[in-house]
Amino acid sequence: MNFEAIVGFLTPTAVFVLLLALHAVLPGRPALGYAHPNTSQTPARYRLNGLLVFAVALAVWAIALLAPLDWLWRVKWYAIAGATALSVVLTAWLVLRAPADDRPGWVQWIEGRSRNVMFADHVDAKMFLYVYGGILLALNVLAGAAFHVGQFGDALNPGILLHATMWVWFVADYFLFERVQLYTFDIIEEGVGFKLIVGCILVYPCLFPVVLWGTAGLPAPDIDPQLDLLWLGGAAVVFLVGWVITRGANLQKYTFKRWPKRAFLGFMKPATVSDGRKTLLVSGFWGLSRHSNYLGEILEALGMALAIGHFANGWTWVYFVYLTAFFIVRERIDDGRCASKYGELWTEYRRKVRYRLVPGIY
């Protein structure tokens, strides 16, 4: 095995250690999370500094302080292997450190034994895994764009740069609204197991940039320059519409969970259905479909695909097709879980909000 392969294999671990150090030492703002009814009525305490860690990581990458700008692109296959190994090691550590329960061993491995793991009273395992995954995702995309620029120079595809910009926006937006994540299913309910860990260490940062695998090495598409505004502008509009829907839906739900009677954005008054114990939101974005946030992310993925410009190339559409299929399946799983959790209240909710993902269509 050559030197580049070894270093590439170890790169995800090196990035993990570097980001963990930054996350631990950089200042963060304290935040209260959700008080889980099955564990404590006291809100969990968090320390959030993802945006600052992201900014420092981007600066380190931009000045090529630790490696060439396209390093992560050049070693991506070795890094994928290294991220897989790191996922297994972290799962073994984070799962086996907790007492076993009555579930089958493989279920405990996949779903974890602990809902939350906190170190030194201010490093939350889940929130750091999202910091790592988001930042490495952005760096992988930027490395792919840097490779493309180095290959083609003035003949580059502007769509690659737009595609990379969309991903950086996507990650920066998450960190800007990092506190909202504290009120999501992933943080409240999901255990710290292989499913979560491999998602944040491997799938999210290393596989989501899949479109660039087959397009970063291509020249600009054969599109009439007079149509550039339609092509690039149209892709940007689709992406931004998706972002507005996703961010709006998530912020509306966050606002409702923290301040149930507050009108979102000052004009979206909360309408609800309730059984006297549990309450569900049926207005605004959440009155249009049961998962407007999923629809928004699908539109963001469509905008990213359109930005590439190689419309007949299958690689262009891989992420969009994957995400669409994933959310269709996930919505069905969510529906079953909610039906079990809410009972007749969920039946009433379905009557109020008829569409699963796309208002008026599906």
The domain tally of the chain equals: 2
7 and 145 inside one domain: yes
CA distance 332 to 249: 19
297: containing domain: 224-362
289 and 176 inside one domain: no
5 and 105 inside one domain: yes
Output the pTM of the full model. 0.92
348 and 270 inside one domain: yes
3-state secondary structure of 299: helix
212 and 322 inside one domain: no
Q: Concatenated DSSP letters for 240-260?
A: HHHHHHHHHHHHHHHHHHH-T
Q: CA nearest 59: which of 35, 102, 86, 26? A: 26
255 and 215 inside one domain: no
**Torsion over CA of 91, 176, 355 and 301, rounded to 10 degrees?**
-80
307 and 345 inside one domain: yes
Return per-residue pLDDT of the chain as tens, 362 residues.
Answer: 688 999 999 999 999 999 999 999 999 998 887 755 555 567 778 899 999 999 999 999 999 877 889 999 999 999 999 999 999 999 999 998 888 888 998 999 999 898 888 887 788 999 999 999 999 999 999 999 999 999 998 889 999 999 999 999 999 999 999 999 888 888 888 889 999 999 999 999 999 999 999 999 999 999 998 999 999 999 999 999 999 999 999 999 999 988 989 989 888 899 999 888 889 999 999 999 999 999 999 999 999 999 999 999 999 999 999 999 999 999 999 899 899 989 999 999 999 999 999 998 88
Is 148 in contact with 217 (CB distance < 8 Å)?
yes
173 and 121 inside one domain: yes
